[in-house]
């Protein structure tokens, strides 16, 4: 029983260490904070590695989306004709 409690505390610590890497991005990005709130993935709610990985994935995907090319960048212009 004591071993399980220690393991749980270790997991919680590891999860919080992972979460720490994204705190600044989250606090500086209201839309991301709102998204994490809706998904129940706020940093202070994370107590497992699964939660930490899920939160990190959302942060990474959000950031990638900000830097993804838009339709205008990809060129949706004319396809032939004239």
By the 8 A CB rule, do 55 and 41 touch? yes
Would you say residue 80 lies in a domain?
A: no
By the 8 A CB rule, do 35 and 62 touch? yes
Q: What is the pLDDT of residues 2-52, one digit of tens each?
A: 888 888 899 999 999 999 999 999 999 999 999 999 999 999 999 999 999
Would you say residue 71 lies in a domain?
A: no
> CA-to-CA distance for 30 and 59, rounded, in angstroms?
12
CA 28 to chain centre: 13
Would you say residue 72 lies in a domain?
A: no
75 CB-near residues (< 8 Å, 6+ apart): none
Would you say residue 77 lies in a domain?
A: no
Expressed as residue numbers, the domain containing 51 is: 2-66
For the residues 43-64, what does the mean pLDDT come to? 96
DSSP-H helix ranges across the chain: 2-20, 23-27, 30-38, 49-66, 71-74
């Amino acid at each position: 029983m004591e071993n399980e409690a220690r393991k749980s505390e270790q997991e919680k610590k590891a999860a919080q260490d992972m979460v720490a890497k994204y705190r600044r991005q989250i606090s500086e990005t209201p839309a991301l904070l709102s998204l994490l709130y809706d998904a129940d993935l706020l940093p202070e709610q994370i107590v497992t590695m699964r939660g930490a990985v899920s939160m990190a994935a959302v942060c990474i995907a959000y950031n990638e989306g900000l830097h993804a090319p838009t339709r205008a960048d990809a060129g949706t212009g004319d396809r032939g004709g004239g």
